[in-house]
Amino acid sequence: MTATTNSTAANSAPTPAPTPAQVNDANRVIIFDTTLRDGEQSPGASMNLEEKLRIARVLEEMGVDVIEAGFPIASNGDFEAVREVGKVVRNSVIAGLSRANRRDIDRAAEALQFAERKRIHTFISTSPLHMKYKLQMEPEKVLEAIWDSVSHARSYVDDVEWSAEDGSRTEHDFLCRCVETAIKAGATTINIPDTVGYGVPEEYGALFTMLFNRVPNADKAIFSVHCHNDLGLAVANSLAGVAAGARQIECTINGLGERAGNAALEEIVMAMRTRADAMPYSNGIQTEQIMTASRLVSAVTGFVVQPNKAIVGKNAFAHESGIHQDGMLKNAQTYEIMTPESVGLNRSTLVMGKHSGRAAFRAKLKDLGYALGDNAIEETFVRFKDLADKKKDVFDEDIIALVDDSIGSTNERIRFVSLMVVAGSKGPQRAELELEIDGELVTTVATGSGPVDATFNAISALFPHEAKLQLYQVHAVTEGTDAQAEVTVRLEENGKTVNGQGADTDTLVASCRAYVHALNKLLTKRQKTAPEALSA
Ligand code: KIV
Ligand code: ZN
């Protein structure tokens, strides 16, 4: 079947849900973001509720059609995330994931109760390998589970997505039977994941062509791609699926996800925008919001974007060589296939100085995609003024780092007050730290092998804890020796990880803030799981 015939199949499908997309245009592709679910499954990428809500708001603002907010049966945190995202997001469909059993589906339905637009996404493995070793189920039993789970999900919602886990390694005859069963049972979206990132574009596209040709009721559903990036082919495979007639793409911001990650949303939508001649598909994404989403996800997870990453890497629009710079000055199109502005990057990001007032600061925060309350704005404004006193040029990135550091710091049990460090080659390095713990000022002096170690030892002395440091990462927010350092600290306790962020022109202060931030997050997590464990 040709791409044209397949898009006819997509065209005649009923709109799967009251999505904002209202897919009545044959070439409209639904963007399904799973940063909060598949993305969060990356080891170390845990996000708390407040962070998930911030990301969900940005995704909604940028025009994402479906936001998969979590896997409600997996944990109370996931349940809460789906429920709370469902309360605040109004324009995007909110999806909750479930395995193919009634308990999972009941839990997903409960989590979605407040969502205006909701989808239950249920999945089961269909490949011989997964059925035999993971599920230990015969194919006929898998078919029964598909029927039962999809019908049960349909008893709650009209919008049901069914996924064939490891679909790209499933035998074609069996996959056709599974898809036909799911659609008969009421699935409105059929997702065929390349779960292990094994597919190659031609073959993955052909899989959809095969399904459109052989599944008799294929025209009753929207088909979806979901590609992992183990061979670096996730975006290419996704676009091949779309060329074959799929009209939903599942992806994540910055390509976050298990192992090598998922297909990157920003790469997919910019490929469609830049090469609309070769890929005449539309989507509802405001690409100018891409950088805001990318920075936020990176800051929250501590997953730094590689400098040469397509679209959102620091160097993606940088031109170093003389020949390139010369060409750029004559005509930007010589070396630029898309403008920095189209992804939300301003060429000159110099923003404000010490004379900027509250109104300008408020406007800048809004511009950067932040919706902060008055107290948070005030707290960040004070820190901004302080920074502007120390640093000649204040860039957008500086403000983002400050806000990310400050957000959520209210109501924290432990607060950073001051730090004095003696460092250098003569040793011993020594940190004099003052914290406020539960409203009380406490101070200590500690030594360590290096100033960071001394600082962290001082924190442990003031607030003894068992959490293990898993990651300590520093990066310069902008250029120059007066740049702010943005530090990420990852702590682990009883298998739970949290990421803390801190920013300051002093790397040690940023480190201390990041550690304290992580510790506070751990306390909140403990409080939710075992209130009795709170006495540090
Ligand atoms: O990769 C995968 O197969 C998945 C499914 C649960 C949709 O994430
Ligand atoms: Zn996946």
pLDDT in tens, 203-245: 999 999 999 999 999 999 999 999 999 999 999 999 999 999 9
Distance CA(305)–CA(313), nearest Å, equals: 6
Phi, psi angles (nearest 5°) of residue 502: -145, 145
Find the helix packing angle between 76-88 and 507-529, rounded to 10°: 100
68 lines ligand 1 (CB under 6 A): no
Q: How far is the CA of 165 from the centre of ligand 1 (A)?
A: 6
Bridge partners for 395 per DSSP: 350
What's the whole-model pTM score?
0.83
Distance 169 CA to ligand 1 centre (A): 13
Cα–Cα distance for residue pair 168/45, rounded to 1 Å? 26
Tell how far the Cα of 167 is from the centroid of ligand 1, in angstroms: 9
Q: Which ligand gives the minimal distance to the CA of 71?
A: 1
Structure tokens at 347: 């060429």
Best probe residue, ligand 1, of 163, 178, 192, 258 (max atoms within 8 Å of C-beta):
163
Task: Determine contact, residues 127/170, Cβ cutoff 8 Å.
Answer: yes
pLDDT of res. 24? 58
> Which CATH number describes the domain made up of 20-287?
3.20.20.70
For ligand 1, atom 7: residue with the closest CA: 163
CATH classification of 414-524 is 3.40.50.720, yes or no? no
Sheet holding 496-504, edge to edge: 468-476, 485-493, 496-504
Let me know: does 464 contact 470? Beta carbons within 8 Å: no
CB distance 163 to ligand 1 below 6 Å = yes
Closest ligand, as measured to the CA of 193 = 1
Task: Compute the distance between CA of residue 267 and CA of residue 489 in angstroms, rounded to an integer.
Answer: 28
Residue 400: both structure tokens together: 């983002």
The residues, ordered by sequence, that sit 6+ positions from 75 with a Cβ below 8 Å of its Cβ are none
CB neighbours (10 Å) of residue 217?
A: 12
Which of the residues in the chain have pLDDT under 50?
1-21, 347-350, 530-536
What is the whole-number distance in angstroms between the Cα of residue 95 and the centre of ligand 1?
13
Q: Write b or e for each residue in 93-124: b if 16 or more Cβ atoms lie within 10 A of its Cβ, otherwise e.
A: bbbbbbbbeeebbbbbbebbeebebbbbbbbb
Please list the alpha-helical segments (H only) found in 231-304: 234-243, 265-274, 290-301
